[in-house]
Amino acid sequence: MSEPWTDEKDRPLDLSRNPARNPARDPSLDPSAESGMDLTELEAADESNLATYACTADRSERLDRFLAAQWPNLSRSRFQKLIEAGQVQVNDAPCTNKHGEVKSGDRIVVTIPPDRPLSLEPQAIPLDILYEDSQVIVINKPAGMVVHPAPGHPDGTMVNALLAHCKTLPGMEMPSINGVQRPGVVHRLDRDTTGAIMFAKTDLANQHLQAQLRYKVAQRTYLGIVYGAPRDDRGVVDLPIGRHPVDRKKQAIVPVEKGGRKAITHWFIEERLGNYTLIRFELQTGRTHQIRVHSAELGHPIVGDPVYGSGRSIGVNLPGQALHAWKLRFQHPLNYEWIDTEAPLPEHFQTLLEVLRRRSGPVF
């Protein structure tokens, strides 16, 4: 964009009013963000002041594509609906043609109507608790369980289960953002990724833990089994990730200038298993599907990944990708003591390891 976002009266947005820009209070809904602001963050920060957004286009492009490129957290179909509803203006005139084009220098104003809060129902779903006190709870998430309610997954989520366990979670009073409500959620795991995930039980913990992720204090370590045998024993993938330009349900390697966001994954070989490899991943950032996208880009996709994998059958019944959030380390939000949690490998992961070890034979 060629100029900072402004409000509906052409005044620069006052970032000092956005607590997500204050290191002392950092309740950003996307703790992995490196810099800048996205629409989701602005809406959550100050709904009364930041419901309308304006910018000047810096290139000629179809309107819906231009908007989706600015905010990869919102889909192009979401912007198309806003356009059709008359919520987008180009040069002070409503534009209801989703196929319309904007030219360099055009002024664009987007208004996001407030969402109604979702009805969050407590559900007595068993939880495998790795750590819990008055401020935070760490759960060993099973495969197939969604973290928070969203369109297509209105219940049966970890948040529903936590409400039955904790009765209340911070952020329950906030409106949903694009049909999503995430009380207590500090970070997320994909539906079929297993392992350690932490939730805040108080507002203070929510702000503190999200800040730890943003400023690289908290540490997340994963184990994954990939196809193939990397030549090196360790490495770093530093490639930006954004929404796939064609399949909007996927992520892809996208240049920063086209909407990608900085993403860094450190990897270390734990065990070579013939034509498969057990790898330890350490996240420096936390983009959606980051490990899965980076592994595929290396030519070694995660075994069992239905989206980024090779589709080859391995002869073991897996619920999804063989990726496990193994260790989670963070500072306690009250006394700053280090908390170390470790999630044991799920049964299907252990079975896969045993099968691959037998196939690869003894090592001499």
Does the annotation mark 190 as catalytic? Answer: yes
- Token pair, residue 226, equals 């990939």
217 by Cβ neighbours in 10 Å (0-12 / 13-18 / 19+) ranks as middle
R_g of the chain computed on alpha carbons: 22
**Residue 358, Cβ neighbours under 10 Å: how many?**
9
Whole-number Å distance between alpha carbons of 213 and 300: 27
Q: Which of these, 219, 338, 191, lies nearest to 281 by C-alpha position? A: 219
What distance lies between CA 59 and its chain's CA centroid? Answer: 28
Q: Which of these, 34, 114, 36, lies nearest to 71 by C-alpha position? A: 36
Q: Can you list the pairs that 82-90 forms with residues at least 24 positions away whose Cβ atoms lie under 8 Å?
A: 82/110, 82/111, 82/112, 85/113, 87/111, 87/112, 87/113, 88/63, 90/63
CA atoms within 13 A of residue 353's CA, in its CB half-sphere: 17
- Token pair, residue 272, equals 């070579």
Whole-number Å distance between alpha carbons of 282 and 117: 35
Whole-number Å distance between alpha carbons of 356 and 87: 54
Catalytic entry in 30, 106, 190, 305: 190
Contact present, 342 and 130 (Cβ < 8 Å): yes
Whole-number Å distance between alpha carbons of 93 and 14: 26
Q: What is the dihedral of CA 120, 122, 126, 127, to 10 degrees?
A: 60
Residues 6+ apart with CB under 8 A from 284: 216, 264, 265, 266
Which residues are catalytically annotated? 190
